Amino acid sequence: MIIGSLLEDKKIEKRISITPETAKKYVDQGFEVILPKNYGEHLGIKDNAFTDSGVKICNEENEIIEKSKIILQLDILTDVNCLKMKENQIFIGSLNPYNNEDKIKNLTKRKISVFSLELLPRITRAQSMDILSSQANLAGYKAVIESFANFEKAIPMMMTAAGTIPAAKVLVIGAGVAGLQAIATAKRMGAIVFATDVRMASKEQVESLGGKFLTVEGAENLETEGGYAKEVSDDFRKKQEELLSETLKKIDIVICTALIPGKKAPVIVKEEMINNMKAGSIIYDLAAIQGGNTAHTKVNEIIDKNGVKIMGEGNILNKLPTSASNLYAKNVFNFVLNLYDKENKKININLEDEIIEKTLIK
């Protein structure tokens, strides 16, 4: 039973799917692992770190695709490499199935089992495989660090003989995993933190981290059974916009994290709201890759609107690729282990298992 992984396009994705630590775990479970030369070189991981873990280094991508029963990636493979895959192989990754629908259909038509880990159900048994949580945690932390680095004032309150510098005010939009980590990080660095979310269950979590939860009067809990945010009604949206518009006038830094899985990100910070913000303020938009939470977000660009900087990040985890890879690789290992019948040394795609059934793209 051979597991392989190919090099990602480093301009888009610096994370890797197999680390020396998880490679050793695969080998201990009875798998063989094959990887291309210099697989982790850009992260400072030499090939001998993999070979010491029992990995075979291969010079040819074609050989890896040909021999592997399971291929582990982050992004979908190139069109050329997708065509090289064959019946009964298994492809596992963070595949963005809503944007890669045609590519994935071409794989499934050829009886290749495709698993996209963003589709994991929010159940206790899947927590060790939950790539959205592990990666969003890092993204929320890094978004605060990046926005503070671009903010041209001090963050904590400072009292000096020359006068007092007030603490920066931070608003986090969306209190999911990324948002909660952003709140915790900003609070630890001395900011005054506010947060808003359509899910009322977030209120207690925000307040436990020292943030102030902003809520629309008479708000209902707009949360799906899976723990994600629902789209809001027009009436709720109007009330939310009024509250947000007034709040933003006194905010220094905004961290946007609001996403609806499989859909364009909701535009929450409208143009007139940005126009009313203080010059020198920062908006850091983690939802940029799905359209952004502001009216002016552009991927991998900093837009200046009347002195307000709007930062749209395409893949913030490329700024923490080593930490992100370590967590992602462990998530993937746990997922593979759930597929593996160790006693019979075979993969068991049991559709009665909710984890397998939800992530398998049919």
Same domain, 279 and 183: yes
Residue 170 and residue 99 share a domain: no
Residue 216 DSSP code = -
* Alpha-carbon distances of 266 from 44, 180, 346, rounded to whole Å: 38, 19, 43
SS3 of residue 73 by DSSP: coil
How many separate domains does the chain show? 2
Q: What is the SS3 assignment for 37?
A: coil
Does residue 262 form part of some domain? yes
Q: Are residues 106 and 229 in the same domain?
A: no
Examine the domain organization and report whether 212 and 344 are in the same domain.
no
Burial 301-320 (b: 16+ CB within 10 A, else e): eebebeebbbbbbebbbbbb
> Is position 349 within any domain?
yes
Q: Rounded distance, CA 144 to CA 185, Å? A: 7
Q: Are residues 27 and 115 in the same domain?
A: yes
C-alpha span between 87 and 199 (Å, rounded): 43
The reply to whether 53 falls in a domain is: yes
Furthest CA-CA distance within the chain: 74
- Considering the candidates 47, 110, 228, 353, report the single residue annotated as catalytic: 228
Residue 282 covered by a domain: yes
- Helices within the chain (DSSP H only): 20-28, 47-51, 61-67, 79-84, 101-109, 131-150, 177-188, 202-208, 234-248, 271-275, 321-339, 354-359
Amino acid sitting at position 340: Y
Domain span at residue 242 reads 136-318
Check residue 133 and give its pLDDT: 94
β-bridge pairing 212-214 and 253-256? unpaired
Is 129 part of a structural domain of the chain?
A: no
- Tokens 């926005």 -> residue: 147
Q: Which amino acid is at 235?
A: D
Respond yes or no: is residue 130 known to be catalytic.
yes
- Would residue 145 be called left, alpha or beta, if left means φ above 0 and alpha means ψ between -120 and 50 degrees? alpha
174 and 312 in one domain? yes
The answer to whether residues 167 and 314 belong to one domain is yes
Same-domain pairing of 70 and 164: no
In the residue annotation, 79 being an active-site residue is answered as no
Q: Are residues 17 and 140 in the same domain?
A: no
Identify the CATH number of the domain in which residue 82 sits: 3.40.50.720
Give the CA-trace dihedral at 317, 318, 320, 325, to 10 degrees.
80
Whether 93 contacts 18, CB under 8 Å: no
Asked if residue 343 and residue 298 are part of one domain, the reply reads no
Spatial distance between the Cα atoms of 330 and 326, rounded to a whole number of angstroms: 6
Work out the end-to-end distance of the chain between its first and last CA atoms, rounded to an integer number of angstroms: 23
Block means of pLDDT (10 residues each) for the chain, 362 residues, are 96 96 97 97 97 96 96 95 95 89 94 95 94 96 97 96 96 96 98 92 94 77 55 74 93 93 84 95 94 94 96 94 98 97 89 96 90
28 burial level (CB within 10 Å; 0-12, 13-18, 19+):
exposed
Contact yes or no for 355/120 (Cβ under 8 A): yes
Residue 130 lies in a domain: no
Rounded (5°) CA angle 275-262-361: 165
- Is the residue at 146 inside a domain? yes
Q: Chain-centre distance of CA 34, in angstroms?
A: 27
Q: Would you state the structure tokens that stand for residue 338, as one six-digit string?
A: 């759930």
Q: Which of 53, 73, 89, 133 is catalytic?
A: 133
Distance of alpha carbon 260 from alpha carbon 7, whole angstroms: 30
Check whether residue 294 and residue 336 sit in a common domain.
no
Q: Would residue 361 count as lying in a domain? A: no
Q: Are 309 and 328 found together in one domain?
A: no
Residue 122 annotated as catalytic = yes
pLDDT of residue 190: 97
The pTM for the full model equals 0.89
The reported pLDDT for the residue numbered 253 is 98
In this predicted structure, what is the pLDDT of residue 239?
82
Question: Of the residues 9, 52, 127, 233, which is catalytic?
Answer: 127
Name the catalytic one among 110, 122, 188, 237. Answer: 122
